[in-house]
Amino acid sequence: MKDRTEPLYMIRIVARRLGVHPQTLRVYEKEGLITPQRVGRQRFYSEQDIERLRMILRLTRELGVNRAGVDIILRMRQKIELLQRELQEALCALDEDIREELEERIRRLFE
């Protein structure tokens, strides 16, 4: 599986892909909305960064959300994703506990 966090793209490539000026990406970085990886002075963006930038652009362009609102939305989305992962882990653990309990009850029935 391809690592979506691997930094692959230079700023001019990302800007061209998204139809924005490279300065827009620098502003988003300065405001803390995006954090590309750096090698020296060069910025490199991953697929995950590009997806985040697409969301930022959709929020600002299509939905009229200001940058402070974008920041809040992105933070809330991050918290929701974390909670979803934690819930999934808890459900998997619960499923395992239930399975073990059921197997134990079945084993006792046939002893």
pLDDT tens for 37-96 read: 998 989 999 999 999 999 999 999 999 999 999 999 999 999 999 999 999 999 999 999
Residue of 33, 32, 48, 36 whose CA lies nearest to 12: 36
Q: What pLDDT, on a 0 to 100 scale, did the predictor assign at position 26?
A: 95
9: helix, strand or coil: strand
The whole model's pTM is what? 0.76
**For range 15-43, the mean pLDDT:** 94
Q: What pLDDT, on a 0 to 100 scale, did the predictor assign at position 8?
A: 87
Helix (H) or strand (E) holding 44: strand 42-45
**What's the rounded Cα separation, in Å, for the pair 65 and 58?**
9
Q: What pLDDT, on a 0 to 100 scale, did the predictor assign at position 1?
A: 63
**What's the rounded Cα separation, in Å, for the pair 85 and 100?**
23
**Domains of the chain with CATH codes:** 1-65 (1.10.1660.10)
What are the distances in angstroms from CA 89 to CA 1, 14, 17, 77, 79?
A: 22, 35, 36, 18, 15
Q: What pLDDT, on a 0 to 100 scale, did the predictor assign at position 48?
A: 93
